[in-house]
Amino acid sequence: MTSEEMTRKVKELSGQNPYLCMQCGLCSASCTGIGVMDLLPRQVMRFLQLGKEEILKNRSIWMCTTCLICTARCPRGIDIARVMEALRTINLRKGNDILAPEDVPAELLAEIPQMALTSGFRKLSA
Ligand code: SF4
Ligand code: SF4
């Protein structure tokens, strides 16, 4: 996938235009998941504008909880959570699963609520 194809695909899947981002940083300042992310949401948007494919391999897109705070506050009306979801979807369609059933330790299976497992697999595996 070329960088142009990646950006076009994100626009198609999310319905959002990353080029509207003016890099104000309000999304990063508001983000509830920033403590476990490697790139700020603002940086994700910038990488996308620049067509940097490494954005598909960053941790932040998986750590985003879709809390929608950034989406509610973006002065450009960009639904950043949808952009994050689109980046995850591209990965999953390529077969780049983050969580495989065999990776879940057996002892944890008895403790984790089923809903948490289901949610995890829905988000992190194809
Ligand atoms: S809040 Fe919106 S305009 Fe500002 S950096 Fe984030 S995505 Fe870009
Ligand atoms: S939707 Fe994702 S990127 Fe936006 S504030 Fe919430 S965790 Fe951060």
The boundaries of the domain holding residue 107 are 98-126
Q: Does residue 81 share a domain with residue 117?
A: no
Q: Do residues 47 and 105 both lie within one domain?
A: no
The chain-wide mean pLDDT, for the chain, equals 92
What is the C-alpha to C-alpha distance for residues 55 and 51, in angstroms, rounded to an integer?
8
- The DSSP-derived string for 64-96 is -----HHHHH-TT---HHHHHHHHHHHHHHTT-
pTM to 2 decimals? Answer: 0.90
Say if residue 87 is in the same domain as residue 111. Answer: no
Q: Scan for tokens 């950034």, then name that residue.
A: 70
pLDDT for residue 3 is more than 90: no
Structurally, the chain folds into a number of domains equal to 2
If asked whether residues 68 and 115 sit together in one domain, one would say no
pLDDT of amino acid 36 = 95
Together in a domain, 69 and 45: yes
Q: State the ligand closest to the CA atom of 74.
A: 1
Q: Domain containing 61 — which CATH number?
A: 1.10.1060.10
Question: Is pLDDT of 1 > 80?
Answer: no
Instruction: Say whether both 87 and 121 belong to one domain.
Output: no
Q: How far does residue 106's CA lie from ligand 2's centre (Å)?
A: 31
CB 59 within 8 A of CB 38: yes
Over residues 101-118, the mean pLDDT reads 87
pLDDT digits (tens, 9 = 90+) for 76-100: 999 999 999 999 999 999 988 888 8
Ligand 2 in reach of 72 Cβ (< 6 A)? no
Does residue 66 sit in the same domain as residue 109? Answer: no
Q: Atom 3, ligand 1: which residue's CA is nearest?
A: 21
Residues 66 and 117 in one domain: no
